[in-house]
């Protein structure tokens, strides 16, 4: 992959074939996604010892079978594959306080994944060994949200540090998941192209006419951090903005939205009504699933300001990225320049892509 110049005034975007190459789509599984953190779920169904949730690391893309389990108050993640013959151990959420038993041949593990017992193995030599235990993968928690990584190359605290500092004053633990307000979309574009579009407010007055009425475009800001970045939407009406505490760095401003992007495919969007977590899931080089998970704080604010009618905004974004997906395959296009004032977030994303892929 071509390197991306750190000087945004001289830099160009990643080469266009990144957005449709099957080889590059496969390469980034190990070079990017397994080395970073994924949001899995919240703690609501993992409150008691033995509570467990089976999951895949990235459904449909990195289908590694894994298991979240509450082990005496500590939420752990481990392989969901029996170390005897590879059977999937847990198929549905359940309480496993008595331990895990494989329904194929009866191999047993405790809630921390350690091998306990296997029938008819009395004559096996050098048995049991540590190879019988279930492999654990790193697990981290921020507020009520659980993240895991297969082979993390960055520290989780570095990933969420600025988000925690900026919005940690919010009573996020009290935000309640709303299934009815949550949605999934399938977008006919590459996952990174979808992220590109998210990472700049440049397009807002051209693509989102109604959203523009709620935001002061002249004060739209982007802040760059090590593994994340933040776009700040400044509102026009006090009623549509956060009531910020005096110790907030933004106190005195009319903040209508905080848009946090976390490497490589997570968006935490904070509005006066609560939080929309967007997970961008690669399906194929030119198809992406996007999950919108809504956590409600103040339901009466759902229909006002920058956080209103997210479905309409999403569909407008889908239309434009679908056209760009077609355009980047043109023989007459390869790489474009960045707007230094409006596309700092996209440039930052491309720098990180280049770093992980080339390393």
Instruction: Enumerate the domain spans of the chain.
Output: 38-141, 174-358
Check if the beta carbon of residue 148 is closer than 8 Å to that of residue 37. Answer: yes
My answer on whether omega of the bond before 128 falls inside 30° of 0, hence cis, is yes
Please state, rounded to an integer, the average pLDDT across all residues of the chain: 95
- The side-by-side arrangement of strands in the sheet containing 62-71 is 94-95, 51-58, 62-71, 74-79, 136-137
Q: Are 55 and 67 in contact (CB under 8 A)?
A: yes
CA-to-CA dists, residue 243 to 176, 221, 250, 271, angstroms: 20, 19, 10, 11
The two three-digit tokens of residue 108, written as one number: 């047993």
- Determine the average pLDDT of the residues in 26-33: 97
CATH of region 38-141, choose from 2.60.40.680, 3.40.50.720, 3.40.50.300, 2.102.10.10:
2.102.10.10
Can you give the C-alpha Rg of the chain in angstroms? 22
> What pLDDT is stored for residue 83 in this prediction?
98
Confidence of residue 290 (pLDDT cuts 50, 70, 90): very high
What is the spatial distance between Cα 298 and Cα 318, in angstroms, rounded to a whole number? 28
| Least confident segment among 188-192, 240-244, 349-353 | 240-244
The pLDDT, as a whole number, for residue 239 is 66
pLDDT at 81: 98
**CATH for 174-358, options being 3.40.50.720, 3.90.1860.10, 3.90.380.10, 3.90.25.10:** 3.90.380.10
- The closest of 349, 356, 359, 358 to 8, measured between CA atoms, is 349
Kindly report, residue by residue over 163-219, the tens digit of the pLDDT: 999 999 999 999 999 999 999 999 999 999 999 999 998 888 888 878 777 777 788
On whether the CB atoms of residues 61 and 29 are closer than 8 A, the answer is yes
CA dist., res. 41 & res. 8, Å (int): 36
Q: Which pLDDT score, from 0 to 100, does residue 16 have? A: 96
* pLDDT digits 0-9 by tens, 262-275: 999 999 999 999 99
- 129-163 b/e (C-beta count within 10 Å ≥ 16 → b): eeebbbebbebbebbbbbbbbbebebebeebbebb
Interval 250-265: pLDDT, tens: 999 999 999 999 999 9
204 is written with which tokens? 């807002």
pLDDT for 242 beyond 90: yes
d(CA 347, CA 13): 7
Cα separation, 222 vs 344, whole angstroms? 7
């Amino acid at each position: 992959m071509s390197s991306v110049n750190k000087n945004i005034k001289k830099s160009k975007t990643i080469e266009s074939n990144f957005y449709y190459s099957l080889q590059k789509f496969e390469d980034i599984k190990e070079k990017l996604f397994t080395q970073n953190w994924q949001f899995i779920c919240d703690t609501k169904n993992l409150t008691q010892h033995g509570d467990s949730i089976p999951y895949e690391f990235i459904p449909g893309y990195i289908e590694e079978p894994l298991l979240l389990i509450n082990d005496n108050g500590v939420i752990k993640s481990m392989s969901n594959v029996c170390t005897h013959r590879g059977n999937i151990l847990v198929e549905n959420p359940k309480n496993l306080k008595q331990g895990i038993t494989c329904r194929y041949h009866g191999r047993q593990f405790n809630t921390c994944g350690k091998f306990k017992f296997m029938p008819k193995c009395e004559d096996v030599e050098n048995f049991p060994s540590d190879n019988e235990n279930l492999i654990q993968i790193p697990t981290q928690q921020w507020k009520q949200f659980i993240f895991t990584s297969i082979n993390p190359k960055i520290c989780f605290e570095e990933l969420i540090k600025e988000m925690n500092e900026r919005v940690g004053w919010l009573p996020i633990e009290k935000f309640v998941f709303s299934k009815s307000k949550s949605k999934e979309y399938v977008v006919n574009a590459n996952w990174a192209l979808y992220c590109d579009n998210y990472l700049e407010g440049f397009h807002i007055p051209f693509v989102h006419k109604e959203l523009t009425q709620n935001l002061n475009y002249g004060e739209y800001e982007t802040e760059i951090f090590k593994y994340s970045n933040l776009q700040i939407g400044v509102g026009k009406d006090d009623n549509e903005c956060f009531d910020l505490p005096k110790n907030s760095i933004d106190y005195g401003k009319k903040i209508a939205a905080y848009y946090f992007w976390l490497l490589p495919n997570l968006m935490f969007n904070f509005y006066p009504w609560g939080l929309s977590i967007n997970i961008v899931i690669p399906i194929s080089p030119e198809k992406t699933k996007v999950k919108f998970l809504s956590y409600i704080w103040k339901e009466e604010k759902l229909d006002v300001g920058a956080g209103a009618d997210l479905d309409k905004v999403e569909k407008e974004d889908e239309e434009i990225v679908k056209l760009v997906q077609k355009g980047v395959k043109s023989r007459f296009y390869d790489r474009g320049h960045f707007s230094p004032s409006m596309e700092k977030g996209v440039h930052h994303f491309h720098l990180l892509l280049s770093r992980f892929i080339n390393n």
